[in-house]
């Protein structure tokens, strides 16, 4: 399965600032996704990162708050904009392996907003 690297692994940020999370995959993948896991909660899908076009967002998530880039088949970024303490979460990048029909996750980026 694909190997996913996320950076940063964790960060502490100030209210009102923005942070960009990077996701690098060791192979070309068609489908990439971003999930959020709030403290003590399960995972929620934020959006599908589409290569060469705008991301597709799930209900409750908007591009202005979570802009996503997908410049090629191995890389994506998620920005958390104008952060508030409610944005404190683990943000996870994931990729779909069509051959194995498996979704593989990165280790996540733990974000704390003060």
Partner 1 sequence: DAKTTQPPSMDCAEGRAANLPCNHSTISGNEYVYWYRQIHSQGPQYIIHGLKNNETNEMASLIITEDRKSSTLILPHATLRDTAVYYCIVTDSWGKLQFGAGTQVVVTP
* 103 near partner 1, judged by CB under 8 A: yes
Q: Which is nearer to partner 1, 77 or 94 (CB)?
A: 94
Among 89, 94, 111, 113, binds partner 1 (CB under 8 A): 94
Among 31, 50, 65, 88, binds partner 1 (CB under 8 A): 31
Q: Running DSSP on this structure, what letter comes out for residue 85?
A: G
Q: How far is CA 46 from the centre of its chain?
A: 8
* 45 near partner 1, judged by CB under 8 A: yes
CB of 101 to partner 1, least distance (A): 7
* 53 near partner 1, judged by CB under 8 A: no
- 35 with 46: CB under 8 angstroms? yes
- 27 with 75: CB under 8 angstroms? no
The CA distance from 52 to 66, in Å, is: 17
CA dihedral over 72, 73, 74, 80, signed as positive or negative: positive
Q: Which residues of the shown chain bind partner 1 in the complex (CB under 8 A)?
A: 1, 31, 33, 42-45, 48, 92, 94-96, 98, 101-108, 110
């Amino acid at each position: 399965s694909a190997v996913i690297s996320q950076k940063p692994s964790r960060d502490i940020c100030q209210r009102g600032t923005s942070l960009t999370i990077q996701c690098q995959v060791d192979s070309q993948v068609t489908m990439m996704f971003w999930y959020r896991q709030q403290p003590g909660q399960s995972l929620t899908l934020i959006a599908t990162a589409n290569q060469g076009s705008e991301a597709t967002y799930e209900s409750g998530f908007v591009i202005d708050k979570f802009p996503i880039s997908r410049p090629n088949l191995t890389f994506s970024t998620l920005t958390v904009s104008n952060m508030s303490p409610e944005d404190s979460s683990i943000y996870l990048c994931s990729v779909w392996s069509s051959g194995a029909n498996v979704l593989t996750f990165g280790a996540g980026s733990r974000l704390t907003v003060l």
